[in-house]
Structure 1
Amino acid sequence: MLEATDVVVEFGRARAVDGVNLSVAPGEIVALVGESGCGKTTLARTLLGLEKPRSGNVSYEGRPLSYSGRALRAFRRQVQLVLQDPTGSLNPRHTVYEAVAEGPRIHKLPDEEAVVTSALARAGLRPPERFFLRYPHELSGGQRQRVVIAGALALDPKILIADEPVASLDASIRGEILALLLRLRDDLGLGALVVTHDLGLAWNIADRVAVMYLGRIVESGRTEDVLTNPQHPYTQALLSVLPESPERIILTGEPPDPTQIPSGCRFHPRCQLVAAGNGIDACHSTPLPVLPATTDPQVACHVVQALQAASS
């Protein structure tokens, strides 16, 4: 339904997204995972039409996204954003009703009160009328996030793009919001791209995982495949910080700099395989191809590919 094809996004000398193929199908939740600064939020903004790629394209329902005002307006009814900080997302001077009604008013939807009532109910704020005249400061963190989600649902979208949707919430509330997203997927057939640095969140909610490093997808596949049998050294390092991991992997080198992309594999300066002497010459010298948009397991790593070739 929503797809990025060979997308490149640059800010000056920084190549924030450097050739990405990624798709979200109807009723599918895809987790986009990586460290801060890897380009995942820029990719999410590009999928929303908020950034225009230097090359490549974003398509919705098979048609390339048009950046004209009218076309973007229609597109944004179908693809809605849920931000990580509900307090910053909501105007403190607006009531809950006004916050949720903003989108329907912009798009001139009929039966505004019925739309707002339905959206609040679907977001788990019941009875909806009890919340109409409340202000954000009168709500809990979880309730504020539900208001933000209701604001997106009011436009009856087909895709949600959720940027760290539970990062600012207490642990006790996170499960409720994740359960809500799953229920919306099951009841409404919503697709979702969930941007996160938390692989535990991805395990609980996602059908597929795409792991991003320095502007590229380096591993993707079904959540169970990627998180129970990670192939890329970077994915292995991310998973090693989870409490149940038997071994902590400490990455060497500096965090990624999108203005200075290394030769060869872009991860090799920090790779634990290279640091242990288990890399190969190609790690330093040969760029890896861009991974395609597919549901099959795939990994961009010279060592893994060499092992696969040797065993086949």
Structure 2
Amino acid sequence: MLEATDLQVEFSGRGGRRARAVDGVNLSVGAGEIVALVGESGCGKTTLARTLLGLERPTAGRITYDGTPLNYSTRALRAFRRQVQLVLQDPMGSLNPRHTVYEAVAEGPRIHGLPDEEALVASALARAGLRPPERFFQRYPHELSGGQRQRVVIAGALALEPKVLIADEPVASLDASVRGEILALLLRLRDDLGLSALVVTHDLGLAWNIADRVAVMYLGRIVESGPAEDVLTNPRHPYTKALLSVLPESPARIVLTGEPPDPTRIPSGCRFHPRCQLVAAGNGTGACTTTRLDILPAGAAHQVACHLVPAVDNS
């Protein structure tokens, strides 16, 4: 449904240097598939998501939707955004406090001039789990719980009957007791409506519960990808192992030193080598610090970009 090919996004940095926020990414989201894009803050996840939505223009590479390259004319983007909708992490920031629930959900249909506005709003709210929908029409965001507000945001996306949702940290601002409900809702939308979704998160536990495939991003590139069960039960990249080590069931925590490098100064060789626990333990090779790794292709196989393990798991 939605695919990025050799995608690069650069921004102007300090001193005239260019920051490579996305530095060669291949990523696909299939029909009825949920893909989790995981990594630390600052690794390029949100920039990649915004570029997939057409909110940022790539410096190089391309985005295709349903096999057709994305056109950046105003009319084409308008049509594209009916099919690919964004769900943000902060429902209070996403919703206008002066607008009722009805007005918030009706905004998309009004912009696109869709008929039967009230029926679309009622259907979207019901699908998002706010029933009976008419009971919520005249409520304001401050009158709702955090979970209800996030359901309103999801309903606003569903009102346009999209094919793909891009959810940026959809449960990060919610209490633990409500997170499961929102994740269950996303799974139900996938099963009932055939929706595809890209879920951007730093939480591998969330990815474990919801995703069909996982892509792990570090400093602008995908460093490991594959079926969620394979990646999360048999992580092969040192960075993925470190991310997973913070989960409660992990036998030992791996503490990475330092912060992700400045994207205007990407290290030579493997971009992870300055923080790699294997290199720090003396188990690296000369290639780790000198030889660039190939960009991982989009695909279903379990793949990893690391000099110390095979690129594809054929087991």
TM-score tier by shorter-chain length is over 0.9
1:274 and 2:279 correspond: yes
* In structure 1, C-alpha distance between the alignment counterparts of 2:259 and 2:50, rounded to whole Å: 26
Check the 8 A contact 1:97/1:133 in 2, yes or no: yes
Question: Offset at 1:252?
Answer: 2.0
* In structure 2, C-alpha distance between the alignment counterparts of 1:267 and 1:236, rounded to whole Å: 13
Question: Offset at 1:10?
Answer: 0.4
Q: Which amino acid aligns with 1:57?
A: R
* In structure 2, C-alpha distance between the alignment counterparts of 1:256 and 1:186, rounded to whole Å: 40
Equivalences for 1:164-203 in 2 at 5 Å? Answer: 164-203=169-208
Where does structure 2 lack aligned partners over 5 or more consecutive residues?
Answer: 13-17
1:48-103 C-alpha deviation (Å, 9 max, x unpaired): 00000000000001110000000000000000000000000000000000000000
SS of match in other structure, 1:304: coil
1:186-235 C-alpha deviation (Å, 9 max, x unpaired): 00000000000000000000000000000000000000000000000000
1:119 and 2:115 correspond: no
Question: Offset at 1:257?
Answer: 1.5
TM-score, structure 1 as length reference: 0.98
Partner of 1:9: 9
1:165-202 C-alpha deviation (Å, 9 max, x unpaired): 00000000000000000000000000000000000000
* In structure 2, C-alpha distance between the alignment counterparts of 1:292 and 1:111, rounded to whole Å: 43
SS of match in other structure, 2:122: helix
Q: Which amino acid aligns with 1:102?
A: E
Query: Among 104, 107, 112, which residue is 1:107 paired with?
Result: 112
* In structure 2, C-alpha distance between the alignment counterparts of 1:192 and 1:269, rounded to whole Å: 33
Partner of 2:39: 34
Q: Which amino acid aligns with 2:3?
A: E
Query: Among 83, 97, 107, which residue is 2:88 paired with?
Result: 83
Tell me the C-alpha RMSD between the 2 structures: 1.3
1:106-148 C-alpha deviation (Å, 9 max, x unpaired): 0000000000000000000000000000000000000000000
Check the 8 A contact 2:219/2:260 in 1, yes or no: no
* In structure 1, C-alpha distance between the alignment counterparts of 2:264 and 2:39, rounded to whole Å: 18
1:204 and 2:209 correspond: yes
Question: Offset at 1:255?
Answer: 2.2
Partner of 2:150: 145
* In structure 1, C-alpha distance between the alignment counterparts of 2:187 and 2:301, rounded to whole Å: 23
Identify the range of structure 1 (126-135 vs 245-254) with the bigger mean alpha-carbon deviation. 245-254
* In structure 1, C-alpha distance between the alignment counterparts of 2:69 and 2:207, rounded to whole Å: 28
1:255 and 2:241 correspond: no
* In structure 2, C-alpha distance between the alignment counterparts of 1:305 and 1:203, rounded to whole Å: 23
SS of match in other structure, 1:143: helix
Q: Which amino acid aligns with 1:206?
A: A
* In structure 2, C-alpha distance between the alignment counterparts of 1:92 and 1:213, rounded to whole Å: 36
- In the comparison of the two structures, how many residue pairs are matched? 310
* In structure 2, C-alpha distance between the alignment counterparts of 1:279 and 1:305, rounded to whole Å: 14
SS of match in other structure, 2:57: coil
Where does structure 1 lack aligned partners over 5 or more consecutive residues?
Answer: none
* In structure 1, C-alpha distance between the alignment counterparts of 2:83 and 2:130, rounded to whole Å: 22
SS of match in other structure, 1:109: coil
SS of match in other structure, 1:242: coil
* In structure 1, C-alpha distance between the alignment counterparts of 2:61 and 2:4, rounded to whole Å: 8
Q: Which amino acid aligns with 1:5?
A: T
* In structure 1, C-alpha distance between the alignment counterparts of 2:63 and 2:24, rounded to whole Å: 12
* In structure 2, C-alpha distance between the alignment counterparts of 1:121 and 1:305, rounded to whole Å: 47
1:281-309 C-alpha deviation (Å, 9 max, x unpaired): 10000000100000111000000139x89
Quote the sequence identity (%): 85
Q: Which amino acid aligns with 1:7?
A: L
